[in-house]
Structure 1
Amino acid sequence: MIKYMNLIGIKARKASEYKVTTKVKNKVLNDYAKLIKNEKKFIINQNSKDINYARKKGLKENLIKRLHLNENKLDGIINSILKIAKLRDPIDSTLEKWKRPNGLNIKRVSIPIGVIGVIYESRPNVTSDVASLCFKSGNVVILKGGSEAINSNKALAKLFRKALKKNKVDENYIQFIDSKQRKLVDIMLSKMKEYIDVIIPRGGKNLVKKVLELSKVPIIGHLEGLCHTYIDKDAELKIAKEIVYNAKLRNTSICGATETILIHKNIVKKFSNPILQALENNNCKIIGDKILKSYYKGQVYPAKEKDWSTEYLASIVSVKVVKNSEEAIKHINKYGTMHTDSIITKNKKTAKYFLKNVKSSIAMHNTSTQFADGGEFGFGGEVGISTNTLPPRGPVGLNQLISYKYEITSNGKIRN
């Protein structure tokens, strides 16, 4: 088992020594998109095997929904790859340059990180997104998908390798660990430091927690997406109603879904019923504090302390009434996970104060938290969202998958 993983690591390191031009990168990506288009039936057939396995395994319906591929989803995958192909190559770009009085000419130039290990669950589109982004940014990637999606992931990875081979690029730029054994994840995290430069986990709380505990390699990622939407006293009801509904119920299973709604005490009487009734009418369970119960006419389940720090990933939302924006910010910074938090208000001064003072990696104004997505940011896709205090933060796309080095020239200068 260790021998198998070491071989993957050796191949990855060797591939990383091979530099690919922008022209070839884009050709590979365009060929990859064509191969997926031509092999739709095959991919869907492989995906149906995974769906059947997931149902037998008793996987939750929201996870099966993430796993499912159809014509529309494959078109989305193809469009994402084509967008990445059109993006500017982030490698070998001069990020900054300056001259020193000592005669040195200094440039800071972008370079790939090297070898990236990605561990993920359920979503097969992660295979194509991550492989494309890593390749375009000059990085080699080792993919370890969840056992529930092994056939779908294998099919998508195989087609990428086919596109690489067609363009005479080392196929090992993209490697997929074709095994359901969980022990391989442990080896990847604890025994492959000499081969892997960074690990990116994409999945549920248990997976990310395991990665944080075991990894001897630096990590880019987030544990949970506990997102908040704060409705300020100067909010417009129509906007607030539309945003909250979308932020909570558009897709409850993504990390950018709002899990807690904060409402200013001055507008709770007017706003709580139309906003929360729209959620409850669509089978969303409302968990609220005592103040909310006094004003909201629908069903309110009493909130416990743990509700403020719970990522539901389901049609459940916790609601708290706050005195002002300062209390809202304090609540978010205490219970939030520095993922995505939004304020709804017409007051620009309050909005600016909120945006500057929440610790979130993504802070929003009059915007649904469901926009926390690299594709929506114009990144072409993302390998994940980072809530690390150190960069990169937020959606991790092409320009976040780079490192840099200093290139220094002089006219024979020596130091006194």
Structure 2
Amino acid sequence: MSKIMNLIGVKSRKASEKKVDIDTKNKVLRLYAKLLDKENGLILRENLKDIKFAKKKGVKENLINRLRIDEVKLKNIKNSIIKISKLKDPVNVTLKKWTRPNGLKIKKVTIPIGVIGVIFESRPNVTSDVASLCFKSGNAVILKGGSEAINTNRILSKLFRQALLKNKVDENYIQFVDSKDRKMVDIMLSKMKKYIDVIIPRGGKNLVKRVQDFSTVPIIGHLEGICHTFIDKDAELNMASNIVYNAKLRNTAICGATETILFHDKIVKKFCNPILKKLEDENCKIYGDNILRKYYKGNMYSAKEKDWSTEYLTATVSVKVVKSSDEAINHINKYGTMHTDSIITKNKNTANKFLKNIKSSIAMHNTSTQFADGGEFGFGGEVGISTNKLPPRGPVGLEQLVSYKYEISSKGKIRK
């Protein structure tokens, strides 16, 4: 098993050292998009095998929905690849240049990271998105998907390798670990430091925690998405209602879904019933603090301390009343996970204070937290969202998948 993984590592490293020009990169991506169209039926058949296996295994319905690919999802995957092919090359970009008084000319220039290992669960679109973003940014990638999506992941990576070969590019830029054995993950995390430069985990809390605990390779990612929407005393009711509904219920299974709603106590009496009833009417379970339970006329469960630090990933929300924007900021910084947090207010000063003082990698004003997504940021896609304090932070797209170096030249300068 270690031999197989080491061979994959060697091949990835060799591939990453072969530079590919921007025209060839884009040709590969366009051909990959065409192959997804051409092999549409085969992809859907392979995906059906995975769904049958997942159902037999007793996988929850919300996870099966993540796993499922249909005509619409396949079209979205293809469109995402086409968008990536149209983005500028992030490699060999001069970020900054200057000349020192002594005549040294210094340039800060972007370079690929090298080899990226991606460990993910359920969502097969990760295979195509990640492969496309890594390749366009000049990185080789080793993909290890969950056992429940092995057939879909296999065909998606196989088609990418075909697109590479037809354009005379080393197919090992993209490698898929074709095994259900979890030991492969352990080897990637603990024994491949000389081959893999960074690991990106995409999946549930258990997977990410395991990666964080055992990886000897640097990690880009986040453990949980405990996202907040704070409704300030200067919020407009209709806007607040629409944003909260979307932020919580548009898709409850994504990491950008709001898990806690905070109401300013000046508007709670007027705002809580129309806003929360709209959620309850869609079978959203509500956990509220004692103040809310006094005002809300619908069904509400008593919130406990653990609810403020729970990522539900389902139609459930915790709700709290705060006395000020400062209290809201403090609550978010204490219980949040530095993912995505939003304030709803007409007051620009309050909004600015919120945006500057929460520690989140994505801070929003009058906006649904569901926009926490690389595609929505115009990145063409993302390999994940990072809540690390060190960069990259937020959605990790093309520009975040490069590092940089300093290139220095002079006319024979020596240091005194």
TM range (shorter): over 0.9
Question: What SS class does the counterpart of residue 201 from structure 2 fall into?
Answer: strand
Deviation (angstroms), 1:17: 1.0
- 1:393 is matched with 393
Q: CA RMSD, aligned part only?
A: 0.4
The alpha carbon displacement at 1:166 in A equals: 0.2
Q: Indicate whether 1:167 and 2:167 are aligned.
A: yes
Deviation digits for residues 110-135 of structure 1, max 9, x if unmatched?
Answer: 00000000000000000000000000
Q: Secondary structure at the match of 2:74?
A: helix
1:182 aligns with 2:160: no
Q: What's 1:77 paired with?
A: 77
Q: Which whole-Å deviations, capped at 9, do the CAs of 1:350-380 have from their partners, x for residues lacking one?
A: 0000000000000000000000000000000
Letter in 2 for 1:227: C
1:58 and 1:123 map into 2 onto residues whose CA distance is 17
Q: Which residue of 2 aligns with 1:337?
A: 337
State whether structure 2 residue 63 is matched by structure 1 residue 63.
yes
* 2:198 partner letter: V
CA shift, 1:88, in A, is: 0.3
Residue of structure 2 equivalent to 1:20 = 20
3-state SS of paired residue (1:245):
helix
Structure 2 match to 1:136? 136
Q: Deviations over 1:117-160 (max 9, x none)?
A: 00000000000000000000000000000000000000100000
Counterpart residue number, 2:91: 91
Q: Which residue of 2 aligns with 1:223?
A: 223
Q: Residue 146 in 1 paired to residue 146 in 2?
A: yes
CA distance in structure 2 between the aligned counterparts of 1:340 and 1:16, rounded to whole angstroms: 33
Alignment partner of 2:376: what SS? Answer: coil
Quick one: which amino acid aligns to residue 393 of structure 2?
Answer: R
- CA–CA distance in 2 between the matches of 1:186 and 1:320? 41
Q: Is residue 314 of structure 2 the alignment partner of residue 282 of structure 1?
A: no
CA shift digits 1:5-62 (9 cap, x unpaired) = 0000000011011000000000000000000011110000000000000001100111
Counterpart in the other structure of 1:244: 244
The reply to whether residue 327 of structure 1 matches residue 327 of structure 2 is yes
Equivalent in the alignment of 1:295: 295
**CA deviation map 1:225-277 (0-9, x unaligned):** 00000000000000000000000000000000000000000101100000000
Is 1:103 aligned to residue 103 of structure 2? yes
- Write out the 4+ residue segments of structure 1 that deviate beyond 3 Å after TM superposition: none
1:369 maps to a residue whose letter is T
Q: CA deviation at 1:414?
A: 1.1
Query: How far is 1:103 from its partner?
Result: 1.4
How far apart, in 1, do the equivalents of 2:102 and 2:57 lie? 67
The amino acid of 1:263's aligned partner reads F
User: How far is 1:169 from its partner?
Assistant: 0.2
Counterparts of 1:68 and 1:122 in 2: how far apart (Å)? 9
Counterpart code for 1:339: H
Structure 1 residue 101, shift from structure 2 partner: 1.1
- For 2:116, the aligned partner's letter is I
Match of 2:346 in 1: 346
Match of 1:122 in 2: 122
Which consecutive residues of structure 2, in runs of 5 or more, have no partner in the other structure? none
Corresponding position: 1:379 with 2:379:
yes
Q: Distance in 2 between matches of 1:374 and 1:68?
A: 21
Question: How much has 1:200 moved relative to structure 2?
Answer: 0.2
**Percent of aligned pairs sharing the same letter:** 76
User: Distance between the aligned counterparts of 1:353 and 1:103, measured in 2?
Assistant: 43
Residue type at the aligned position of 2:4: Y
- Output the CA distance in 2 between the equivalents of 1:34 and 1:111: 29
Partner residue, 1:213: 213
- Output the TM-score relative to the length of structure 1: 1.00
2:374 is matched by which residue type in structure 1?
Answer: G
Give 1:164's aligned amino acid.
L
Q: Distance in 2 between matches of 1:206 and 1:213?
A: 10
Q: Does 1:267 align with 2:273?
A: no
Task: Give the match for residue 360 of structure 1.
Answer: 360
Q: Secondary structure at the match of 1:355?
A: helix
Distance 2:71 2:47 in 1: 12
1:3 aligns with 2:3: yes
The one-letter code sitting in structure 2 at the alignment partner of 1:217 is: V
Distance 2:140 2:39 in 1: 24
Measure how far apart 1:102 and its partner are.
Answer: 1.6
Aligned partner letter, 1:129: D
Deviation at 1:279, TM superposition (A): 0.2
CA distance in 1, matches of 2:66, 2:119: 16
C-alpha distance in 2, partners of 1:17/1:313? 40
Q: Secondary structure at the match of 1:101?
A: coil
